[in-house]
Amino acid sequence: MMKTKTTYYNAVAFAAVLSVLSVAACVALPQACHLLGRWLGLGSKVGELLLPMHLPVMLAGFWGGPVAGLVSGLVSPVLSHALTGMPVATLLPFMTVELAGYGLCAGLLRRSSMPVMGQVLLTQLAGRAARALVLLVAVYGLGYTGVPLSIIWTSLWVGAAGMLLQLVLLPVLTRVVRR
């Protein structure tokens, strides 16, 4: 009985630490991308291309479970916005839902028998679908005009490099941790 309780507390502690590290990475990595973008003369494009907040949130889900992933996805964009102004206020609710979707889905799939590559693809699809759904509801259901619907498709095209990076890194990192 005691061993099971200790194991549970260790898992909770691991998930909590992982969530905190994920949130910290979600604040720091976009800043690094923006600094690189300024240095290269690309502005914020490097962040838009590499999707630096997505990777830590997905890792939190794959490594720590659905609660760690969900908490990381919900807290990261809000804290980043409060500290840095990014993501911008007009995108904040949509990005929060997207990242929460990534974290939750990754966590739910982490014990699945599906190959890790399939888990990553399904997680990417779930996060983007959640964002698209919330955008559609905001525009058509609530009359929101702050973001054009075309962002659904342009973000897929612009973020393709980041999505490919996730497809390469996440399976490798997840396999290393699961050993």
Q: What angle in degrees, to the nearest 10, is found between the helix axes of 160-178 and 116-136? A: 140
Mean pLDDT for the chain overall:
93
Residue 179: the pLDDT is: 63
Residues 6+ apart with CB under 8 A from 116: 170, 171, 174, 175
Please name each of the domains of the chain with its CATH number: 2-178 (1.10.1760)
58 within 8 A of 111, measured Cβ to Cβ: no
Q: Distance between CA atoms of 74 and 98, rounded to whole angstroms?
A: 9
Task: Please name the residue ranges forming H helices in the chain.
Answer: 2-40, 45-50, 54-64, 66-84, 92-109, 116-136, 151-158, 160-178
pLDDT for 2: 56
Mean pLDDT, range 35-63, rounded to an integer = 94
Is pLDDT above 90 for 6?
no
Residue 3 has a pLDDT of 63
- The Cα 118–Cα 100 span in angstroms is 19
The answer for residues whose C-beta is within 8 angstroms of residue 118's C-beta and 6 or more apart is none
| Confidence at residue 176, expressed as pLDDT on a 0 to 100 scale | 82
Backbone angles phi, psi at 92, to 5 degrees: -55, -50
- Cα 61 from Cα 150, distance rounded (Å): 29
What digits encode the pLDDT tens for the residues 140-177?
A: 999 999 888 899 889 889 999 999 999 999 999 988 87
How many C-beta atoms lie closer than 10 Å to residue 164's C-beta?
10
What is the pLDDT at residue 44? 85
What pLDDT score was predicted for residue 131?
Answer: 96
The model's confidence at residue 11, banded by pLDDT at 50, 70 and 90, is confident
**How many residues in total does the chain contain?**
179
| Percent of the chain residues topping a pLDDT of 70 | 97
Of 5-14, 72-81, 138-147, give the range with the top mean pLDDT: 72-81
* 100: confidence class by pLDDT, cuts 50, 70, 90: very high
